[in-house]
Amino acid sequence: MLSAALGHWGLDPTVLHLTQPYLTILAWSIPPLLLYASFRRYLQGMGVVRPVMIALVLANVLNACVNWLLIFGRLGAPAMGVRGSAWATVVARVVMAAVLLAVILYRERSLLARRPRFAESRGRSDSTRRPDSGRRSFDLAPMRRLLALGLPAATQVTLEVGVFAAATALAGRLVPASLAAHQIAVNLAALTFMVPLGVASAGAVRVGHAVGRGDPRGAARSGWTAILFGVAFMSCAAAAFLLIPRTLIGAFTSDAHVITIGVSLLFVGAIFQLFDGVQGVCTGVLRGLGDTRTPMLWNLAGHWFIGLPLGYTLCFVSGLGVVGLWWGLSTGLIICGVALLIVWFRHAATLAHHRGADGTPLAPR
């Protein structure tokens, strides 16, 4: 459906010709990607993160190899161009989901083996006490609690990913060199964001565990530690964007025009790196406190109500091109980063002083 609608977006004909078949094939990777995301969150919540890293490394290596085979037709494989790249992504995402599913089944094998005996013994015990114990009502309360936490979190991710997808669609209306520079710069920004994203996941788990054991000061300490790590790394990333932009862009292309535009985009990217890391980590630690709605609302306001409209205006009305589009995105990230840091600061201050009448820490409600 999306690939069919691309013709109405005003994309460059050359870009449109390559994009439509790519997206048609890529749609097959959505179910395994969603399964992978669910499996990953489950394992991270249990503090099991190494298999996730292994699955990602394996998938990236496999993706690179299959891209090499199918794009260029190596070792007897058909030369499929962008279609081959799409199929490589499908294969990689299937492997990611399969690896994590295997890890989960392996970890839970003892529980699965005990369940029949447990159910049988419990059935005998219950039958002596309640002859009609086989009748049970379905409890919707846990599902409602999961949805109350999960839907805002899912919406926040959709809003954040969606704004960059929308920006790429807008960049597709510009000359191909601008789109190429935009895509390269986005890939570099996404690469650096992987570190604070991982720190955010760790922060969410650490903060959540501290809250669960009734240690609010430990929750605040874990959250601030995660934010510190995110800020430190993204400061280094910003420095790299400022000091060696031509080297970074040149790793993807030798086109002088694309490199010139990409260097300008990395200058803007260097400015929002710090705020991007802050908003990403703050989103994670707030999730550890059970607050998934606040990041969703600030992503909606910062990206969609301010950042994207501003970027569109600077790009197409003011004539700044793709650089103007990036200034709009940067504004949205700055707003989200500052706002979520203030929200976390208030939560952390409350946690630091949250003690019972006997002086022992209390878990925040």
Residue 40 — very low, low, confident or very high, per pLDDT cuts 50/70/90? confident
Residue with the larger pLDDT of the pair 239 and 28: 239
Residue 9 — very low, low, confident or very high, per pLDDT cuts 50/70/90? low
Residue 42 — very low, low, confident or very high, per pLDDT cuts 50/70/90? confident
Residue 363 — very low, low, confident or very high, per pLDDT cuts 50/70/90? very low
Mean pLDDT rounded to a whole number for the chain: 84
Residue with the larger pLDDT of the pair 262 and 3: 262
3-state secondary structure of 123: helix
User: How large is the average pLDDT for residues 32-45?
Assistant: 85
* Dihedral over Cα of 202, 207, 212, 217: its sign: positive
CB 329 within 8 A of CB 164: yes
Q: What pLDDT is recorded for position 17?
A: 63
328 contacts: CB under 8 Å, gap ≥ 6: 167, 307, 308, 309, 310, 311, 312, 313, 314, 315
Determine how many CB atoms are found less than 10 A away from the CB of residue 85: 19
User: How large is the average pLDDT for residues 288-308?
Assistant: 94
Q: Which amino acid, one-letter code, is at 165?
A: A
R_g over Cα of the chain: 24
Q: Is the pLDDT of residue 250 over 50?
A: yes
* Cα gap 218→364, rounded to integer Å: 12
* Cα gap 313→284, rounded to integer Å: 31
Q: What pLDDT is recorded for position 356?
A: 41
In the chain, the percentage of residues whose pLDDT exceeds 90 is: 47
- Torsion angles phi and psi, residue 187, rounded to 5: -60, -40
pLDDT (tens digit, 9 = 90+) per residue, 46-64?
778 888 889 888 998 998 9
Residue with the larger pLDDT of the pair 133 and 242: 242
User: How large is the average pLDDT for residues 57-75?
Assistant: 88
Lowest mean pLDDT among 82-91, 142-151, 252-261, 344-353: 142-151
Q: Is the pLDDT of residue 120 over 80?
A: no
Determine how many CB atoms are found less than 10 A away from the CB of residue 6: 16
Q: Is the pLDDT of residue 8 over 90?
A: no
- Torsion angles phi and psi, residue 361, rounded to 5: -65, 150
Q: What pLDDT is recorded for position 122?
A: 52
CB 325 within 8 A of CB 171: yes
Helices (H), 27-80: 30-45, 50-72
CB 62 within 8 A of CB 95: yes
- The most confident of 135-139, 149-153, 206-210, 236-240, by mean pLDDT: 236-240
359 contacts: CB under 8 Å, gap ≥ 6: none
- Please tell me the pTM assigned to this model: 0.75
Angstrom distances, CA of residue 152 to CA of 21, 145, 156, 248, 344: 32, 12, 6, 35, 17
CB 46 within 8 A of CB 38: no
Q: Is the pLDDT of residue 125 over 90?
A: no
Lowest mean pLDDT among 44-58, 71-85, 115-129, 220-234: 115-129
Q: What pLDDT is recorded for position 114?
A: 60
CB 312 within 8 A of CB 328: yes
* Cα gap 23→210, rounded to integer Å: 42
Angstrom distances, CA of residue 206 to CA of 46, 48, 210, 218: 11, 12, 6, 9
Residue 361: strand pairing partners: 355
88: left (phi over 0), alpha (psi -120 to 50) or beta: alpha
pLDDT (tens digit, 9 = 90+) per residue, 288-297?
999 999 999 9
pLDDT (tens digit, 9 = 90+) per residue, 264-285?
999 999 999 999 999 999 999 9
Closest CA to 160 of 127, 200, 132: 200
User: How large is the average pLDDT for residues 151-165?
Assistant: 88
Q: What pLDDT is recorded for position 137?
A: 61
Residue 2: strand pairing partners: none
In the chain, the percentage of residues whose pLDDT exceeds 70 is: 84
Q: What pLDDT is recorded for position 7?
A: 55
Concatenate the DSSP letters of all residues of 81-95 into one string. THHHHHHHHHHHHHH
Q: Is the pLDDT of residue 187 over 50?
A: yes
Return the percent helix, strand and coil in the chain, to nearest 5.
85, 0, 15
Q: For the chain, what are the domain ranges?
A: 9-122, 151-356
